[in-house]
Amino acid sequence: MKILITGGAGFIGSHVVRLFVNKYPDYQIFNLDKLTYAGNLANLADIEEKENYQFLKGDIVDADWLDEIFTTYKFDAVVHLAAESHVDRSITDPLAFVQTNVIGTVNLLNTARKHWKENLQDHLFYHISTDEVYGSLGEDGLFTEETAYDPRSPYSASKASSDHFVRAYYHTYGLHVKVSNCSNNYGPNHFPEKLIPLAIHNIKNEKPVPVYGKGENIRDWLYVLDHARAIDVIFHEGKVGDTYNIGGINEWRNIDLIELLCDVMDEKLGREKGQSRQLITFVKDRAGHDLRYAIDSSKLVNELGWKPSVTFEEGLAKTVDWYLQNSEWLDNVTSGNYQSYYEQQYVNR
């Protein structure tokens, strides 16, 4: 089987690529990535020489190029993760999110449909999405697969739009699709613009840790490898045309999470207990900041037998250890060195 994974140089995508390359030596895995600021081939250094792995640098907004690679490689399936993924960036530049998340996804759908139309049933388009499409919860309740869409940021609006297009191609053209909507991921290789890696970076360097508003917003955190495991299960065993919610059953108020992280890091860095909490700095809130996300993943658990494999305490400890042991990775992505390297390395595209 030839599988095209988009966004494979990013945070979640790199874990999905590694899992598929190592677990399925008979599959040929193609990693399509534009290498934006968030894409980093260093995330995959350990598998780049594997025979069943190939990197394709390019942009999903470029429909002609997509047509070329589908013609050349004849993919059997697509696992689509490429996206602009940061809510704060979507507030300053919504159009970039429309380009990649909406236009890019529709380009991929069109290309898949064109190349697969003779035997749709033998192909699969698996779209990776987010719980943010469901909007913001109050104190009670969980997002289920039936919750009505209510996106409230340009990012979640663009992801909601892409989800609708994917389902429209299933109903209208018979393209075989699956969709999953996951809660907040954390773990190794997370770009340090997002809360947990940003806080780890700042605590390590004794810089202020910015907490938006009063830190009362709630997120449901899942270890990234458990998301990759869920994607594997849904890809192979999920029902065509269905949606699966993926969550950590692990809700944290931002302020409680950051205090826990400070304490974990104090211990690991040999600092006095409570020292890093002094770095916590309350800053201006995010515009339109969703209060609470929480996922009901019982469909995935009951129908496909998936469940998270690590507790939050274990996952957080592993994550902090990874960042402390990989300071070169962190220094590179925060300095922008790797961006200029890739600009020189890939002058042709």
Q: Which stretch binds ligand NAD (CB under 6 A): 6-14, 137-145, 169-177, 255-263?
A: 6-14
Nearer of residues 178 and 292 to ligand DAU, judged by Cβ: 292
Return the active site residues.
131-132, 155
Residue 69 identity (one-letter amino acid): I
Nearest to 130 by CA among 60, 196, 83: 83
In the complex, the smallest distance separating the C-beta of residue 231 from ligand NAD, rounded to whole angstroms, is 9
Nearest to 84 by CA among 181, 193, 1: 193
Residues 80-139 that bind ligand DAU (CB under 6 A): 85-87, 130-132
Q: Residue 58 in contact with residue 32, Cβ under 8 Å?
A: yes
# of chain residues touching ligand NAD (CB under 6 A) = 31
Nearer of residues 170 and 191 to ligand NAD, judged by Cβ: 191
**Tokens found for residue 74:** 């004849």
240 near ligand NAD, judged by CB under 6 A? no
Among 6, 40, 105, 184, binds ligand DAU (CB under 6 A): 184
# of chain residues touching ligand DAU (CB under 6 A) = 19
End-to-end CA distance of the chain: 27
Residues 134-173 that bind ligand NAD (CB under 6 A): 159
Q: What's the chain's Rg over C-alpha atoms?
A: 20
Contact string 134-173 vs ligand DAU (x = CB under 6 A) = ----------------------------------------
Counting Cβ atoms within 10 Å, is residue 9 exposed (0-12), middle (13-18) or buried (19+)?
A: buried
CA distances for 197 relative to 47, 112, 214, 337, angstroms: 23, 35, 20, 18
223 near ligand NAD, judged by CB under 6 A? no
Q: How far is CA 3 from the centre of its chain?
A: 18
Residues 199-238 that bind ligand DAU (CB under 6 A): 210-212, 217, 219
282 near ligand DAU, judged by CB under 6 A? no
**217 contacts which partner out of ligand NAD, ligand DAU, none, CB within 5 to 8 A by kind?**
ligand DAU
268 near ligand DAU, judged by CB under 6 A? no
Nearer of residues 79 and 175 to ligand DAU, judged by Cβ: 79
Q: Which stretch binds ligand NAD (CB under 6 A): 182-190, 249-257, 283-291, 310-318?
A: 182-190
Give me the half-sphere count of Cα atoms (radius 13 Å) on the Cβ side of residue 60.
34
In the complex, the smallest distance separating the C-beta of residue 343 from ligand NAD, rounded to whole angstroms, is 13
Nearest to 222 by CA among 200, 243, 247, 244: 247
195 near ligand DAU, judged by CB under 6 A? yes
**Phi/psi of residue 284, each to 5°?**
-50, 140
CA–CA gap between residue 192 and residue 210 (Å, rounded):
13
In the complex, the smallest distance separating the C-beta of residue 26 from ligand NAD, rounded to whole angstroms, is 25
Strands 177-182 and 243-246: parallel
104 near ligand NAD, judged by CB under 6 A? yes
Q: Token match 């968030």: residue?
A: 38
Q: How many residues does the chain have?
A: 349
- Which residues make up the interface to ligand NAD (CB under 6 A)? 6-7, 9-13, 33-36, 38-39, 59-61, 81-85, 100, 104, 128-130, 159, 182, 184-185, 191
